[in-house]
Amino acid sequence: MNVALLCIGLLGALCIGMGIAVSMNRIRQKQGAGCPSDPKDQLHKYIRAHANTVEFAPVLMVLMYILSQSQMSAWVLWSIILVTVSRFVLVAGLIFPRTMSRPNPLRQIGAMGTYVFGLALCIAVLMLA
């Protein structure tokens, strides 16, 4: 099994799944465009989670693909896995709490994991250059 390609597929599914979730919430709330700015509003939370996913996932997917084309060390493989898990944890931290106005552990862990393990992937690609 190619773990990097599996993680790329999972991140792609997260992007598409969040897009579907936004559309379903728009239908449910009869909100064709925009969204309330209330951090407790479900549509607002889904839109922010989708936007954040789309901001990070494509870059991570490209890094993972580049790294999958060569022999990976264990730390690179674990960074790929952990950055993918971090993205899912971050989305959960945006959607599930009652409000986005206060920090929560899921959101903080997801963000920190994205930064730490995302930078590790950048370093791994630079080491290939």
Tens of pLDDT, residues 73-87: 999 999 999 999 999
pTM: 0.91
Single-letter code of the amino acid located at 105: P
| Confidence check: pLDDT of 32 > 70 | no
Q: What is the pLDDT of residues 89-128, one digit of tens each?
A: 999 999 998 887 888 999 999 999 999 999 999 999 999 9
d(CA 48, CA 43): 9
Residue 36: the pLDDT is 67
Task: Give the separation between CA 86 and CA 112, rounded to whole angstroms.
Answer: 8
> What's the rounded Cα separation, in Å, for the pair 127 and 16?
31
Enter the tokens of residue 108. Answer: 């903080």
pLDDT for 27 equals 80
What the chain holds in terms of domains, given with CATH numbers, is 3-128 (1.20.120.550)
